[in-house]
Structure 1
Amino acid sequence: MGIWSLLPIACGTSAGDRQLPPYLDESVSLEERIEDAMKRMTLEEKIAVLHAQSKFSSRGVPRLGIPELWCTDGPHGIRAEGAWDEWRQAGWTNDSCTAFPALTCLTATWNPAMSALYGRSIGEEARYRDKDVLLGPGVNIYRTPLNGRNFEYMGEDPYLASRMVVPYVQEVQKNGVAACVKHFALNNQESSRHTTDVDVDDRALYEIYLPAFRAAVQEGGAWSVMGSYNLYRGEHGCHNRRLLCDILKGEWGFDGAVISDWGGTHNTEQAIANGLDLEFGTWTNGLSSGAKNAYDSYHLAFPYLDLLRRGVVSESDLDDKVRRVLRLNFRTAMNTRKPFGSLNSPEHLMAARQIACEGIVLLKNEGEILPINPSGVKKIAVIGENAVKMMTVGGGSSSLKARYECSPLEGIVKAVGDRVDVIYERGYIGGLSPMSDGVVAGYDLSESRTADELLVDALTAARTADVVLFFGGLNKNSHQDCEDSDRLSLSLPYDQDRLIRELAQVNRNLVVVNISGNAVSMPWIAEVPAVVQGWYLGSEAGYALSDVLFGKVNPSGKLPFTFPVHLEDNGAHATNSYMPGPGVNRYAEGLFVGYRWHEKQGVAPLFAFGHGLSYTTFEISDVRMDRDRLTKSGSLHLTARLTNTGERSGSEVVQLYIGDEKSSLPRPVKELKGFEKVTLNPGEERTVNFIITPDDLKYYDDEKHAWVVEPGRFTAHVGVSSADIRGTVAFYYDA
């Protein structure tokens, strides 16, 4: 039975003469349709659309043929179907997805085209599964390397995150699926995430923590935003007047719906007045609360309806919320013109592999041990649990039920075939469970050997190999890149540092592949000739890693955050302002996050923001501007020549940083303001172009509550990382 059979027929008309009511007529403007639907809805129906009806869905208006809304966790793949009112999986057999690389890897591509490919692909999978809202992407800033959820975000720099989030959002939404940008805002740690009250100055708020959200909303056109768990100025992020009403909906003109994080709503009056539109996850424990329907006890359900009926609150806030939810519904569930989706298509798997390859970062390659030539070796020793452990599962809400996951060991074996003897040793124990989040692991993790026996067996295998590939790092267990828990230190867990050092002593041809979404300390860095940052790469992980390790793909990834030598080199920890417990957490480092802090303090990193090597070499030369003065309404044209001076085709990311030589307020030494990824053949050169405008010079004046730029001397720095500048040019700004 379709919608039409439920709608009344006007007197004197036949079924063939029926006309669409305005709210169902897609030739009518969106706002007219919303207003028409609003006029037809009862007070009870308005309340019903503002809160969940199951773990991941909210009610529509059945009487009017307006369907329910269905959300799905992301942002790295479409989560397995869940039970109606429980976190467990529903047990479907047709809900396996393509697992895409984690967003840290996507951002490490420094390529907006890869972000567009990612958004389009994951949007098609969400569309195929008939989901209306994809709960992602995440753009919280990488403030501390201990944050357990950094792997889901887009790094430490607001400009880089802004440029990478926009194509993702745009391409997802072309599928008629809303991107839900999260977690707004200041959700920069997982420990005590429900009880941490962030105290941050306005300069840091506007210059560091808000730009990526603003870009997602104003440039990407995001249809929904998710509030954060933490507090800011004493109010939770899911009903925070300044963040949601003043900034998001006021200053930025956001016309979409604010969705609560699951369990992020705490107060009915604040939820009504402070900007929340759609409430999920508050009390989803079945019927144990004693109500006829637990969802009717949500803050934006019967408690809200009771206040309205008693005249305690006005209907103006209600109508604004309903308009926003209807706008979200009409753009997604009610959109009959959205394209068909697809799931696990060859194109999606190829996209996952391409993004993974572009995001892998070659951190060190002393003596050019990489790439490995299979014809030049007879035996490869693969050491480390992360060579076989599934990484598409675990870590919290981003855990996936992938159609398959190619492990690093599997990828290596398939890459070399029977030409090379590949031997494997576990080396350390990071986990024993054969199941994670309802998914059976692809490798038997049971173990009868002791840690010392594992070490001896690993060293024995390494001694006889031509090359040793160690796969370690973190693993999405609690306190190891995982939602709801932060890391306990910067060090590698499970005594991996000892294992790496001993491997280096028995075989100098050692490559360490760090699988993580976070920086780790490397006290053995001088002893190891080659290091690769391998991220969480999704379904095609093993294939992508083998592509890079054996030279089928020339690595071109760049770090989206700084690797400090010591935890205390990071600004949040140097100022003792990372607080894992509840209470007020003052961001004492202010806007000096990541490389900004390192440069302010003159502390060298282990690996700099933007760092990443290649199997070829590049030269940047002839950095120049068309003139040396910029005016209020003008722009400058900066050019630089990039040349591939090596023997392989490859890609380099040319990065533009700008520094203010003299300012009335403290400013970073320099800040990223542009980048371009360029692919060149050996001997080929290309001119890279950047346009500099007054907006690139501005800082946020918290007293004026405005972005300002002061006249004076500036320097443009062009290089291949924040610490590797190849050319500079000075210019002046005249107001």
Structure 2
Amino acid sequence: MKMNNHLTKLCLAAAAAAAVACAPAPKRAAVAVYLDPEAPIEERVEDALARMTVPEKIAIIHAQSKFSSPGVPRLGIPELWCTDGPHGIRPEVLWDEWEQAGWTNDSCVAYPALTCLAATWNPAMAALYGKSIGEEARYREKDVLLGPGVNIYRTPLNGRNFEYMGEDPYLASRMVVPYVQEVQKNGVAACVKHFALNNEETHRHTIDVDVDDRALYEIYLPAFKAAVEEGGTWTVMGSYNLYRGEYGCHNDRLLNRILKGDWAFDGAVVSDWGGVHDTDQAIRNGLDLEFGTWTDGLTMGATNAYDNYYMAKPYLRKIENGEVGTEELDDKVRRVLRLTFRTAMNQDKPFGALCSEEHYAAARRIGEEGIVLLRNEGGVLPFDLGGMKRILVVGENAVKMMTVGGGSSSLKVQRETSPLDGIRARVGDRAEVVWARGYVGDVGGEYNGVKSGQDLRDDRSAGALIAEAVEEARKADAVVFVGGLNKSDHQDCEGVDRFSLGLPYGQDAVIEALAAVNPRLVVALVSGNAVSMPWVDEVPAIVQAWYLGSEAGNALAAVLFGDANPSGKLPFTFPVRIEDNGAHATDPVFPHDGKTCYKDGIFVGYRWTEKEGIEPLFPFGHGLSYTTFAYGPVEADRASTDERGTVNVSVEVTNTGDRAGAEVVQLYIADKESSLPRPVKELKGFEKVWLEAGQSKVVTFPVGVEALRYYDDTKGEWVAEKGVFEALVGASSADIKGSAVFELK
């Protein structure tokens, strides 16, 4: 267990005296600069490095327990402690096991999954998220938060998509930066993951990805680049998969040449747990901190095997035998020390907070803003309690805890409000709220020793469950079906991918039966992935509810009853069929074991459907409101520009409805004269505009040369070609309201 902040300062002071008294006479001044928080951080790093022995240097670059590295006790340099995120602070586990340590004070607030955060299309919500989760990590004395994730949503079958920020590199880039910045204001390092191309789970330890450089630079790297160059992230986590024959955790091109070279990353590269495979490659290819090897929870290997890690005794023996020098080692140690001074030895950290009402309010607000109203025919929503006596809620997901399970993001929460409880709390005694099971899915509720405490067993047949739901639906004034996916295997879950695009557990039959007997049916889908909807035309109202965390039920109820006007927009495309997705259209084999080539290239998500002329089920950027918005003409302030200039694209947006609401105004750019194939259009700007009824606002997007470039893999550089461009402004990728043409000279 780590010391609290006050004890840490006292112990560091004592250690400073001991270090000066006991250390061999240094060649430089005896003052322990590394312990001086007022000294420039690079001076502190070099001073500490000069005082360390080679064995101490080796020790500091690998784990000593499941989630910690040892520091340098002789010099008073403390341990580094990591914790899983990115949706909440993981409960404490035993020293060398994944199982629970049995603490009673390690519960947390669960925040909405990152797909929901991305669906807010609001960087202010990303900042609130980072601030809140960073405060919880700080209170729990964590130094590194293992998140956020920004891998691109390439296929809706990826089991880990719910931890990421969607299919578009620009959207993910704008959302990750404030998250990272606000986490790190707490003296806690964000660890952006998984670098890179971690787009499948089933064979994640063996899959070798080959992707052309255009797709790599235009689609899969921008969010990581933004996190490094703009967010200033202090750590980056390597991925399990291989890229062109080298594992992501020690990949020369990704880590040395791109991350540390091109982007000048000065932080530490952390391995994913069990992601290291070779000592020589780990030495040369950019890894700085090794975790999880041989104690990865998969093959176990040996207990307390930390000194046998690839970057432990094997590395030390190579140095002692003269096989390698210490140049690479010193670079790794510098990075780990820099991380330590920014976190564990940062005396200016705030105190943090855990399970505060402010954090619950933040979780609820993010959830409300991220919920997406996909369909609302006939104005079924929002519900008006004035005319209701009986509301039926159907579905296992209406009662099942969703914070337990799904892999490393599983949490132990102080409380979690279910959709059923949230609806009942909102309705109060104004109407009767009845629940019917509808279907049986995953009746479990345990992960690494955290138990939900729910007993969801039900032995009735599917037919009996549907019959009960239908009978109740006939008597109800409105029906809310809460279904979707869950966090069990082959749903939304780390380590395994989905089997198909369809809903599991026979939910389609339940929805169709309910639609046949009650015209006021709302389907609320809990998931981090797109699903097929063969019943879409039969259901008047559909809500994408995501995994909303501790305040799930309250956030959903607020949207259903109009307390919150929905303003979320989809961060990825919902295809009608799996074959409408570019990854599956170009390669029907999934999941891959061995080598895979991203044949869809840069045409991911809406870029693919627009190129192929495919109509999606719901397009990227789609989301409805309880009010309406009108767009004025789109105008550009100049007809031409050069590489040094900026074109300002403006549009006036008016709330033409009778209630306040928010619209996400989206800017797409189309290159009309490119010499290489380009998407029909690409997202290059967005702004969430809050408007009272009748209010108008002019939204202006500055368009510089960065928005016009593409990566020319024949030249190995970004290129903006002269010619005609079109700025398209709309409410989604498929709902363009107007455009303006300009020329780049």
Please say whether Structure 1 and Structure 2 have the same fold, judged by a TM-score greater than 0.5. Answer: yes
Distance in 2 of aligned mates of 1:577 and 1:292: 41
What pairs with 1:498-537 in structure 2 (closer than 5 Å)? Answer: 498-537=509-548
Name the aligned partner's letter for residue 373 of structure 2: L
* Deviation for aligned residue 1:285: 7.4
Whether the aligned pair in 1 keeps the contact of 2:20 and 2:32 (CA below 8 Å) is no
Whether the aligned pair in 1 keeps the contact of 2:485 and 2:503 (CA below 8 Å) is yes
Whether the aligned pair in 2 keeps the contact of 1:572 and 1:578 (CA below 8 Å) is no
Which segment drifts farther, 515-524 or 451-460? 451-460
Name the aligned partner's letter for residue 438 of structure 2: G
2:14 matched residue in structure 1: 5
Distance in 2 of aligned mates of 1:578 and 1:676: 38
Whether the aligned pair in 1 keeps the contact of 2:98 and 2:448 (CA below 8 Å) is no
* Deviation for aligned residue 1:577: 5.8
Which 4+ stretches in 1 moved above 6 angstroms? 288-292
Name the aligned partner's letter for residue 698 of structure 1: R
C-alpha spacing 1:688/1:257, structure 2 compared with 1 (3 Å)? same
Q: Deviations over 1:685-704 (max 9, x none)?
A: 00001101011100001111
Q: Deviations over 1:641-661 (max 9, x none)?
A: 000001110000000000001
Distance in 2 of aligned mates of 1:719 and 1:292: 56
Question: What is the number of equivalent residue pairs in this alignment?
Answer: 727
1:728 matched residue in structure 2: 739
1:230 matched residue in structure 2: 241
2:203 aligned with 1:165 = no
Distance in 1 of aligned mates of 2:31 and 2:388: 71
Whether the aligned pair in 2 keeps the contact of 1:652 and 1:677 (CA below 8 Å) is yes
2:585 aligned with 1:574 = yes
Distance in 2 of aligned mates of 1:673 and 1:227: 28
Whether the aligned pair in 2 keeps the contact of 1:578 and 1:585 (CA below 8 Å) is no
2:467 aligned with 1:470 = no
- Quick one: which of 302, 325, 341 aligns to 2:352? 341
* Deviation for aligned residue 1:662: 1.4
What pairs with 1:698-709 in structure 2 (closer than 5 Å)? Answer: 698-709=709-720
2:698 aligned with 1:693 = no
- Quick one: which of 215, 229, 232 aligns to 1:204? 215
Q: Deviations over 1:509-548 (max 9, x none)?
A: 1000010000000000000000000000000000000000
Distance in 2 of aligned mates of 1:137 and 1:607: 26
2:657 aligned with 1:646 = yes
For the residue of structure 2 that corresponds to 1:622, the secondary structure is: coil
Distance in 2 of aligned mates of 1:636 and 1:554: 33
Distance in 1 of aligned mates of 2:60 and 2:522: 54
Distance in 1 of aligned mates of 2:695 and 2:301: 72
What pairs with 1:252-267 in structure 2 (closer than 5 Å)? Answer: 252-267=263-278
For the residue of structure 2 that corresponds to 1:2, the secondary structure is: helix
Which segment drifts farther, 438-447 or 131-140? 438-447
Whether the aligned pair in 2 keeps the contact of 1:155 and 1:560 (CA below 8 Å) is yes
Q: Deviations over 1:68-102 (max 9, x none)?
A: 00000000000000111001111100000000000
Name the aligned partner's letter for residue 12 of structure 2: I
Gap runs ≥5 in structure 1: 12-17
For the residue of structure 1 that corresponds to 2:633, the secondary structure is: strand
Distance in 2 of aligned mates of 1:492 and 1:582: 25
- Quick one: which of 709, 713, 717 aligns to 2:724? 713
1:620 matched residue in structure 2: 631
2:72 aligned with 1:61 = yes
What pairs with 1:302-701 in structure 2 (closer than 5 Å)? Answer: 302-441=313-452, 443-576=454-587, 579-701=590-712
What pairs with 1:121-140 in structure 2 (closer than 5 Å)? Answer: 121-140=132-151
C-alpha spacing 1:64/1:605, structure 2 compared with 1 (3 Å)? same
For the residue of structure 2 that corresponds to 1:657, the secondary structure is: strand
- Quick one: which of 159, 178, 186 aligns to 1:175? 186
Whether the aligned pair in 1 keeps the contact of 2:641 and 2:647 (CA below 8 Å) is yes
1:281 matched residue in structure 2: 292
Which segment drifts farther, 179-188 or 574-583? 574-583
Whether the aligned pair in 1 keeps the contact of 2:484 and 2:526 (CA below 8 Å) is yes
Distance in 1 of aligned mates of 2:304 and 2:448: 27
Distance in 1 of aligned mates of 2:234 and 2:563: 40
Distance in 1 of aligned mates of 2:357 and 2:458: 36
Whether the aligned pair in 2 keeps the contact of 1:194 and 1:229 (CA below 8 Å) is yes
Name the aligned partner's letter for residue 382 of structure 2: P
1:70 matched residue in structure 2: 81
Distance in 1 of aligned mates of 2:309 and 2:457: 43
* Deviation for aligned residue 1:440: 3.0
Distance in 2 of aligned mates of 1:72 and 1:698: 38
2:53 matched residue in structure 1: 42
2:4 matched residue in structure 1: none
C-alpha spacing 1:711/1:605, structure 2 compared with 1 (3 Å)? same
* Deviation for aligned residue 1:438: 2.6
* Deviation for aligned residue 1:637: 1.1
* Deviation for aligned residue 1:455: 1.1
Name the aligned partner's letter for residue 310 of structure 2: H
Name the aligned partner's letter for residue 711 of structure 1: K
C-alpha spacing 1:145/1:291, structure 2 compared with 1 (3 Å)? closer
Q: Deviations over 1:231-251 (max 9, x none)?
A: 001000000000000000000
C-alpha spacing 1:309/1:598, structure 2 compared with 1 (3 Å)? same
Whether the aligned pair in 1 keeps the contact of 2:295 and 2:301 (CA below 8 Å) is no
2:309 matched residue in structure 1: 298
* Deviation for aligned residue 1:578: 5.2
* Deviation for aligned residue 1:2: 2.3
For the residue of structure 1 that corresponds to 2:542, the secondary structure is: strand
Q: Give percent identity, aligned residues only.
A: 67
1:15 matched residue in structure 2: none
Q: Deviations over 1:124-169 (max 9, x none)?
A: 0000000000000000000000000000000000000000000000
Distance in 2 of aligned mates of 1:289 and 1:220: 36
TM-score (normalizing by structure 2): 0.96
Name the aligned partner's letter for residue 669 of structure 1: V
* Deviation for aligned residue 1:448: 2.7
Whether the aligned pair in 2 keeps the contact of 1:111 and 1:676 (CA below 8 Å) is yes
Q: Deviations over 1:97-122 (max 9, x none)?
A: 00000000000000000000000000
Distance in 1 of aligned mates of 2:20 and 2:547: 58
Whether the aligned pair in 1 keeps the contact of 2:653 and 2:696 (CA below 8 Å) is yes
Distance in 2 of aligned mates of 1:150 and 1:40: 44
Name the aligned partner's letter for residue 383 of structure 2: I
C-alpha spacing 1:111/1:292, structure 2 compared with 1 (3 Å)? closer
Whether the aligned pair in 2 keeps the contact of 1:600 and 1:668 (CA below 8 Å) is yes
C-alpha spacing 1:661/1:79, structure 2 compared with 1 (3 Å)? same
Whether the aligned pair in 2 keeps the contact of 1:630 and 1:694 (CA below 8 Å) is no
Whether the aligned pair in 2 keeps the contact of 1:388 and 1:443 (CA below 8 Å) is no
TM-score (normalizing by structure 1): 0.97
For the residue of structure 2 that corresponds to 1:639, the secondary structure is: strand
* Deviation for aligned residue 1:290: 9.4
Which segment drifts farther, 584-593 or 455-464? 455-464
Q: Deviations over 1:242-273 (max 9, x none)?
A: 00000000000000000000000001100000
Name the aligned partner's letter for residue 720 of structure 1: A
Whether the aligned pair in 2 keeps the contact of 1:572 and 1:588 (CA below 8 Å) is yes
2:157 matched residue in structure 1: 146
Distance in 1 of aligned mates of 2:449 and 2:622: 37
